[in-house]
Chains A and B, each alone.
Chain A
């Protein structure tokens, strides 16, 4: 029962695209999976949105088509063999576009709207105004699901700093956010600005939105605007720049004579900007009594009001307070409820959970990769948890067919299999991860605030995309008593958790990462039943970033070291003298280049330094004097190696647990750790079993200190490792699952 959505044109920043992405967020919360399809789309969105031609449905599915203009979607949806629905965003009024190239598209849009009425099970208006039009067009089962904004995305911290500086001014500033097209009445905005200039000669008018030069009248207005003092046509801007504009304004003004909803009205409210808007179409409904609406255009009078609203605290403050109340009364939760009711009306309610009479709970384990020979901290963590809980739970691992974490290429066969006695169900990833494209996009997005569509687009590119898993969770999810999901970062978890959030324990394995700044991840941190985190530092990080996170408990992992002998490791790899050991993936993200630089410094200043041994799959070239790269080593070789090392090195700046440090402690080996990682710093300060370094000279000093106190540190290491027993970890998982089952 997938709920797919079709949009005529998908472009990040467009209202329809944003609405489709928001609807998908709500659908996930309601337990429904679905894909996005577009007749046309902006390049770079291919991971998030598929071309219309790729749409495949089952009879029980629902296809929702977003309707805002005549498009080829209607013909397609009328002949799609499943349940159908329309999400109506309204059409621009014909009277403004007669004789223009847009007229036939608007006429076609009107005709298509009526044409679909008899053939759809569900009509959704994004405002009551739009729902009224749907009923007039002959739709019978009509529901209103209002659009919404996420207020936190419009906070002062989200404004682009450069833009804020550029726009900094004490002048009265009117803000308009809309495309410059005929029905938005740009001429009225200019008329108002002219009147405001009479009162405040330094006043500004900031206009955000593309200018549609297809219309001669618009071209003339653009020229006129450029001659008028104080007018800045900013065109299309990024999300951060948009917030900067709102935050630089005194009053938000809308002169539009037709709005099917008016998202910028809510955006202005979320940016603490008083709204002055012409009460056209759905505008009064969207304002809901907040802001100031007017029913006649008297520009001199409106200019007086704009100045007062922008400068007089006695008028401005109550309006802002009312707008904040309005925002609280609208939002994702309210729209989710409405969408849920709409879907229930066609028999698409949340699937009921199947209560089992089994003594052992049936638990789904969600993890991005799983299987013998798959390296990776979170994957190894998941495998260890599964093996320890095998005596207590009936488990099935739900994962991808990937072995390679860079491409997610399908290397293992899809479907059922067994790994070490555990049932595994694998789902293929239809789209390998394009690392170059992802890195490029990350470079453009990280450190800048984004809208939801942009973030979801990045997440889709990150992958792994597992549509089969999401369909499985929607259709078969009720058969599981609970889920344990690993690693917040990947969509195999981030988009799965909301589908089954009420029965999910999340093991986030979060560390400092630019992607953690994306608000879209709030779904995965705030919605599960509980978070099982690895360290107090990880919990602190999550609480800082997502203060409304689900209940959390520090659980970590257990470390049981087998008997280990350093001599065996030396003999196996021909190591004569002292050595430092790193175990893990040999790649840039793990801090290997910085470690090599620090080690180079050590060799330069210390006459007979220990060798540096790197044990793990290399995905970068390493050629440095005194450095040995062993490739992957066996489990026993790892323990032998750690037992024989002067110190284990943890160079990664991003750790959520640092299993390597715990394993080194378990065999009494101290740790040299990267101080950039709060988790590593925490382990070292709590244990007293190692030294942190910040840079190359610090590395040399740290090793010197470690050499002086190694015996005491080794004792401290063993004491600290005793805290990490598996029995305690298993008890914690079982307690949390039992609590979930009792109250579920």
Chain B
């Protein structure tokens, strides 16, 4: 373990603390800490996937509560409501489900098209930059006739 701090004698502090732990007969391992890097998400693909995951309004979100005590009752009531009324939920939201599906499909189509076009633009720009960097080939420069060197 390392201690960071401009105003402490880090080594001395750690040594003293370790000595006290040893005197108490304590040995311990460091807690393992995950350090998974956060993902970079391409927004169009993400949104297309998220739309797909949420396109069906007849499927409820997970039932959760932040309340204590009363919260359990609320969770139970929601569960019973879904169990007993799912047929009516389906009936009420049937057209919405169709509409959401179409929105999802057109969004996915457009997103794929935008991604394809972006890649194409990038390729063309890179090709153009490459052409600009390459020197043009032409006839070798003609030598001027000058005085012969002695």
Q: Enumerate chain A interface residues (CB-CB to B < 8 A).
A: 91, 93-95, 101, 104, 107-108, 110-112, 114-115, 133, 136-137, 188, 191, 212-214, 219, 257, 279, 284, 287, 289-301, 304-305, 308, 315, 318-319, 321-323
Contact = CB atoms under 8 A, between A and B. Distances in A.
Interface string B3-15: 1111110000110
A257 B33 contact: yes
A293 B5 contact: yes
B26 interface: yes
Contact of B13 (A108, A287, A315): A315
Nearest to A297: B31
B7 A304 contact: no
B132 interface: no
B5 A213 contact: no
Given A114-B42, A289-B5, 10 more contacts: A94-B36, A108-B46, A137-B40, A212-B66, A214-B65, A284-B4, A290-B5, A290-B6, A297-B33, A322-B5
A300 B22 CA distance: 11
Interface string B40-61: 1111101100100000000001
Majority secondary structure, A binding face? helix
Candidate in A133, A292, A321 with the most chain B CB atoms within 10 angstroms: A292
Nearest to A304: B17
A208 B16 CA distance: 31
Closest 9 CB pairs of A and B: A115-B43, A322-B7, A289-B6, A111-B46, A296-B30, A304-B17, A297-B31, A296-B1, A293-B4
Given A213-B68, A289-B6, A110 B41 contact: yes
B3 A293 contact: yes
Contacts of B41: 107, 110-111, 114
Given A284-B4, A292-B5, A110 B61 contact: no
A546 B40 CA distance: 48
Majority secondary structure, B binding face? loop
A323 B8 CA distance: 12
25 contacts: A101-B61, A101-B62, A108-B46, A108-B50, A110-B46, A111-B50, A112-B43, A114-B40, A115-B43, A115-B44, A137-B40, A257-B33, A279-B4, A287-B4, A287-B5, A294-B4, A298-B31, A299-B31, A300-B24, A301-B28, A315-B8, A318-B7, A319-B8, A322-B6, A322-B7
Nearest to A93: B38
A292 B8 contact: yes
Contacts of B2: 294-296
Contacts of A133: 38
B1 to A, nearest CB: 4
Nearest to B6: A289
Contacts of B65: 213-214
A115 B68 CA distance: 38
B34 interface: yes
B28 A219 contact: no
A289 B7 CA distance: 8
A110 B1 contact: no
A301 B21 contact: yes
B18 interface: yes
A308 B18 CA distance: 13
A300 B67 CA distance: 34
B39 interface: yes
B127 interface: no
B50 A107 contact: yes
B91 to A, nearest CB: 27
Given A114-B43, A304-B21, A214 B64 contact: yes
B25 to A, nearest CB: 11
B120 interface: no
A203 B8 CA distance: 24
Contacts of A104: 50
Given A107-B46, A296-B1, A319 B7 contact: yes
Contacts of A315: 8, 13
B20 interface: yes
B39 A110 contact: yes
Nearest to A318: B7
A298 B42 CA distance: 38
A304 B66 CA distance: 36
Contact of A298 (B1, B5, B24, B64): B1
Nearest to B61: A101
Contacts of A297: 30-31, 33
Contacts of B28: 298-301
A213 B16 CA distance: 40
B36 A93 contact: yes
Nearest to A210: B66
A101 B64 CA distance: 8
Contacts of B67: 213
B5 to A, nearest CB: 4
Contacts of A301: 1, 14, 17-18, 21, 28
Nearest to A188: B31
A218 B68 CA distance: 12
B5 A291 contact: yes
A315 B8 CA distance: 7
A299 B50 CA distance: 41
Contacts of B61: 101
Contacts of A214: 64-66
Nearest to B71: A213
Contacts of A93: 36, 38
Contacts of B68: 213, 219
Contact of B3 (A290, A294, A318): A294
Contacts of B71: 213
Contacts of A298: 1, 28-31
A730 to B, nearest CB: 56
